[in-house]
Structure 1
Amino acid sequence: MIISSLDNLNVDIELLTPQVHENMAIIPLKTAKNYNIDLLTLEKGIELGLVNVKECEQSQVNTLIVENRSVTPLILIDGEEVVGGDQNRIVSETIIIAPRSSMKIPVNCSEQGRWAYKKEFMHSDYIANYKTRRAKEFARRKNHSVQHTVWSSIHDVEKDYSFASPTSALSESYDNLRKNHNEIVKSFEIAKGQNGVLVIVDGEIKGFEVFLNSDIYKQFHEKIIKSYLIDSKLGDSVFAVNVDEAENVIKNATDSSFEKKETKGLEESYEFENDSGLGVISLYENEIIHWSYFKKTEELSNDEILDAELESEI
Structure 2
Amino acid sequence: MITIGDDISLNPNIELLKPQTHENITIIPIKTEKTYIDILTLKKGLELGLVEIKECETSQVNTLIVKNESITPLILIDGEEVVGGDQNRIVNSTILIDAKSEMKIPVSCSEKNRWSYKNEFKQSNYIANYRTRLAKEHASRQSNHFQDIIWSSIDELESQSEFTSPTCAMEESYENQKFDLNEIITKFKIVPGQTGVLIMIDGEIKGFEVFLNSEMYREFHEKILKSYLIDNEVKNNAFTINIDSAWQAVNSAYDSSFEKIDATGLENAYGFENNEGLGTLYLFKNTIIHWSYFKKENKNNNDEMVEDTLLKTNI
Instruction: Please give the TM-score of this superposition, normalised by the length of structure 2.
Output: 0.95
Please name the residue that 1:255 is paired with. 255
For residues 23 and 239 of structure 1, what CA distance do their matches in structure 2 show?
7
Partner of 1:240, secondary structure, is coil
Residues 1:23 and 2:18 are matched in the alignment = no
Q: How does 1:17-56 map to 2 (within 5 A)?
A: 17-31=18-32, 33-56=33-56
Q: CA deviation at 1:47?
A: 1.4
For residues 310 and 271 of structure 2, what CA distance do their matches in structure 1 show?
25
The AA in structure 1 aligned to 2:301 is L
Residues 1:159 and 2:162 are matched in the alignment = no
Please name the residue that 1:267 is paired with. 267
Partner of 2:252, secondary structure, is helix
Question: For the Cα contact (< 8 Å) 2:8–2:286, is it kept in 1?
Answer: no
Residues 1:177 and 2:180 are matched in the alignment = no
For residues 8 and 65 of structure 2, what CA distance do their matches in structure 1 show?
36
Q: CA deviation at 1:8?
A: 1.6
For residues 310 and 283 of structure 1, what CA distance do their matches in structure 2 show?
33
Q: How does 1:38-187 map to 2 (within 5 A)?
A: 38-143=38-143, 145-187=145-187
Question: For the Cα contact (< 8 Å) 1:6–1:254, is it kept in 2?
Answer: no
For residues 93 and 144 of structure 1, what CA distance do their matches in structure 2 show?
11
Please name the residue that 2:306 is paired with. 303
Instruction: Please give the TM-score of this superposition, normalised by the length of structure 1.
Output: 0.95
Q: Does 102-111 or 4-13 show the bigger shift?
A: 4-13
For residues 225 and 288 of structure 2, what CA distance do their matches in structure 1 show?
21
For residues 15 and 290 of structure 1, what CA distance do their matches in structure 2 show?
17
For residues 91 and 294 of structure 2, what CA distance do their matches in structure 1 show?
17
Q: CA deviation at 1:256?
A: 0.7
User: How well do the aligned residues superpose, as a CA RMSD in angstroms?
Assistant: 1.7
The AA in structure 1 aligned to 2:121 is F
* Cα displacement string for residues 150-187 of structure 1 (whole angstroms, at most 9, x for unaligned residues): 00000001001110000000001000111111110000
Residues 1:13 and 2:3 are matched in the alignment = no
Q: Does 144-153 or 64-73 show the bigger shift?
A: 144-153
The AA in structure 1 aligned to 2:141 is R
Please name the residue that 1:235 is paired with. 235
Partner of 2:207, secondary structure, is strand
Change (3 A) 1:308 1:271: closer
Q: Does 7-16 or 72-81 show the bigger shift?
A: 7-16
* Cα displacement string for residues 90-125 of structure 1 (whole angstroms, at most 9, x for unaligned residues): 000001001110000000000010011110000000
Partner of 1:241, secondary structure, is coil
Partner of 1:133, secondary structure, is helix
For residues 146 and 20 of structure 2, what CA distance do their matches in structure 1 show?
34
The AA in structure 1 aligned to 2:42 is L
* Cα displacement string for residues 224-250 of structure 1 (whole angstroms, at most 9, x for unaligned residues): 000000000111111111111100110
Change (3 A) 1:219 1:6: farther
Unaligned 5+ segments in structure 2 are: none
